[in-house]
Amino acid sequence: MAVPVEEAISALSTFSLEDDQPDVQGLAVQLSAERYATSSPIEYADVAAYRLSLVEDTKAINQLNSLIQEGKEMSSVLYTYRSCVKALPQLPDSMKQSQAELYSETYQVLDLEMSRLREIQRWQALAASKLAVDMQRFSRPERRINGPTITHLWSMLKLLDVLLNLDHLKNAKASIPNDFSWYKRTFTQVSVQWQDTDSMREELDDLQIFLSTRWAILLNLHVEMFRVNNVEDILQVLIVYCVESLESDFALLFPEHYCLLRVLPVLVVLASSSEKDGDSLYKRVKINRLINIFKNDPVIPAFPDLHLSPAAMLKELSGYFQKFSSQSRLLSLPAPHEIGPRETQEYPLSDTLVAFWFLQAILVGMPSLW
């Protein structure tokens, strides 16, 4: 005898699905880190179907998010990079006749590692170009009315943060230039028997400049951004958004909070690349607001064992951006290691500075793994 559908449904509602089996992971509850949705599980694939005016924006957001994911993978490669030179065998004097064979084998080992660095070099050039083009779209008069959405702003900021972290890792890794110098030496020995090595030497020189120049990624981004004019407007929009978000505790979780703190000094330097642009910026954002933000967080984590200091970044980048070097008030901020006990009282997080000094004193005598 068939049971009516209504009775079957009512009978199912009486069943208890609970048991005494403990749930180790707990409930799968999602927590939104921001007040607005800044991601889409379907990558905005439904926008085209609704024929909305956001097709161009959502396409750009998906492109930026794809670059962010690729950049995080590049950062993982660079962060886990360890020197290969110390593991390479050395021939005794009695086996010098096998030196050519050793050079060949060493070149093959190091070429695999250098290929990863070449890929990072190519990716950062592509990402800087795409980010600059995306910012320049909002320099058009018709796009200045509403400006980018919150989601679009976050995608720009996160990609800039990935580029900054990649540049910081490149600067901090002492093992990379050591391996490259050994790689270049072996290339000189091995390439004697090769033909048409001019293109390889040119590529090698470009990689050497990229690895040896501090903040090479940010300098390349600056060149890409200012190929056309009026990109300063979107930079000021990003700075205002970062400042207001930090002052109002807009970002609830630490990753978003520190992302804003890391990119803010870079945005300020880029937006102050000319005297006129700097004056326009500081009319919208007072310098005192920036100083207070940097004092609240004098030390910013970048990776588990790497940190950044906004004041130190401003001072170092001022050497590459001559127009910004005139901002004496921002450059007068002391770096964490320059703050004395008396000046510490002016910083809200004085305990953080004391902990920083303590950790720095501990790590001074520890052997470096970089």
The H or E element spanning position 67 is: helix 55-79
Residue 22, CA distances (Å) to 19, 25, 27 in order: 8, 9, 11
The helix/strand/coil state of 308 is strand
Q: What is the pLDDT of residues 116-136, one digit of tens each?
A: 999 999 999 999 999 999 988
Residue 292, CA distances (Å) to 101, 251, 253, 296 in order: 60, 18, 20, 6
Q: Please tell me the predicted confidence (pLDDT) of residue 33.
A: 45
Residue that wins the pLDDT comparison between 300 and 54: 300
Residue that wins the pLDDT comparison between 282 and 5: 282
- What percent of the chain has pLDDT above 90? 29
The helix/strand/coil state of 50 is helix
| Distance, CA of 207 to CA of 180 (rounded, Å) | 9
Q: What is the DSSP letter of 34?
A: S
Query: Both tokens of residue 349?
Result: 């997080």
Q: Please tell me the predicted confidence (pLDDT) of residue 2.
A: 65
Between helix 254-271 and helix 216-225 the angle, nearest 10°, is 60
Residue 227, CA distances (Å) to 54, 60, 329, 336 in order: 26, 20, 29, 35
Query: How far out from the chain centre does Cα 327 lie?
Result: 25
Q: How confident is the model at residue 319 (pLDDT cuts 50, 70, 90)?
A: confident
Between helix 55-79 and helix 150-172 the angle, nearest 10°, is 20
Q: What is the pLDDT of residues 49-67, one digit of tens each?
A: 666 667 778 888 999 999 9
Indicate whether 36 pLDDT > 70. Answer: no
Q: Please tell me the predicted confidence (pLDDT) of residue 31.
A: 47
Indicate the average pLDDT of the chain.
79
Between helix 275-284 and helix 232-247 the angle, nearest 10°, is 30
Nearest of 302, 309, 207, 317 to residue 272 by alpha carbon: 317
Between helix 232-247 and helix 287-296 the angle, nearest 10°, is 50
In this prediction the pTM is 0.79
CB atoms closer than 10 angstroms to residue 354: 12
